[in-house]
Chains A and B, each alone.
Chain A
Amino acid sequence: MEDPNRMIAATDRVAVPAAISEHVAAPPAWSPVIVAVDRCKGCALCVTACVKGALRIDESTVNVLGYHPVRFAIPEVCTSCALCARVCPDCVLTILAATRRPPS
């Protein structure tokens, strides 16, 4: 059930702004937020908790539980603060360290 590839695919793509690639040898191969889509109950508490507005409830799809799951819609604004994961009652969100952003 837990196919990491499926989870990463659910987040669109891993977008790396051009400015960062000047400062890192290679763009990161991972997303800072891994969504366990089939554990999500669509409560949207994470959507409210994210101060950057990176999360959305994806009403275009329904998971095996019958809910509209969360989608990591705007990955580039994520700072891995993990507020979303901390309010989630179902451990849907796994947070990895995001890459450093350049000061500008």
Chain B
Amino acid sequence: MSVAIPPGARLIFGRPELLVDRTTSYCPGCGHGVVHRLVAEVLGELGLGGKTIAVAPVGCAVFAYEYIAVDFVEAPHGRAPAVGTGIRRVRPDAFVLTYQGDGDLAAIGTAEIVHAAARGENITAVFVNNGIYGMTGGQMAPTTLIGQRSTSSPGGREAGLHGYPVPMTEMLAILPGVVFAARGSVVDAPSIGRAKAYLRRAAELQLARKGFAIVEILSNCPVGWGMTPQASIERLKEVATVYKPGVIVDRAKEPAPAPAAAPAAAPADAEPAGEPAAGR
């Protein structure tokens, strides 16, 4: 850490060692920054910095390898779980982590994530879901909510035109190869703490070779949603009433729990609270 701690002071919270001390390319307030930090914290706490081979997505987090100081391979859009499978099969002792956004995982990469989960591939999938395509300028994603405006659903998502949002983590949780599926969010510090606990659980299960784990983390996208960072966090609270945070399945604790019911298609009020996305 490059922040000098005065002698005698006790550190309560600081930048984790595996999070490179540089300004990220992420927008002000973007949840990727928080999730990167959580990943760096968990890997550091488990001593996995020297064992991790991570897979970077295509999307805003394509630059993840600039910020998390572990070995990385860049995957084509959507293919991270397949790339992670290849790594896992030839490097039985590596810690394998994939990091994807919602376009990467739930649109173009649907086959790869489903089959990595179905094979029970012993990897940890981090799924940052902000319900929009950030890097390409704010288009609709499979996880965009009904009524949500985007540059490719300018009048708001309509089921008849655009279909329904996809609850990926609930869908994957059905598969027996999935030992752990959970959803957290970056909405406030307690939620961030729970998200970190889910990441930690997923990592520990990988180390115990229990199978496939996915941790979805709901994130905001201030620029994509057309809001200030603070307003986007308020909006994220509404999103979290549709995609409900919590542990969806933990087969290492309970052998065959019933998966949670799929979330409803939209929050109670279809329009985003506060300011509608300007110009969308």
Contacts and interface: CB of A to CB of B under 8 A. Distances in A.
A and B touch in the complex (CB under 8 A): yes
Given A7-B3, A83-B189, A90-B23, A97 B10 contact: yes
Contacts of B268: none
A82 interface: yes
Counting chain A residues whose Cβ lies within 8 A of the other chain, the interface size class is 35 or more
Given A2-B3, A95-B14, A41 B189 contact: no
B193 interface: yes
B229 A43 contact: yes
Contacts of B26: 89
Contact of A94 (B15, B29, B31, B192): B15
A89 B33 contact: yes
Contact of B9 (A65, A82, A97): A97
Interface residues of B, number: 38
B29 A96 contact: no
A96 B233 contact: no
B9 A96 contact: yes
B19 interface: yes
A49 B13 CA distance: 15
Interface string B175-188: 00000000000101
Interface string B1-23: 11111101111111100010101
Nearest to B229: A43
6 contacts: A29-B6, A41-B28, A48-B233, A86-B192, A89-B33, A96-B9
Given A87-B192, A90-B23, A44 B229 contact: yes
Contacts of A28: 9
A28 B6 CA distance: 10
A75 interface: no
A10 to B, nearest CB: 13
A14 to B, nearest CB: 10
A77 interface: no
Contacts of B6: 4, 29-30, 96
Contacts of A2: 2-4, 21
Given A48-B233, A89-B34, A94-B13, A36 B29 contact: no
A91 B37 contact: yes
A45 interface: yes
A44 B230 contact: yes
B79 interface: no
Nearest to B219: A89
Interface in A21-64: 28-30, 32, 34, 36, 38-39, 41-45, 48-49
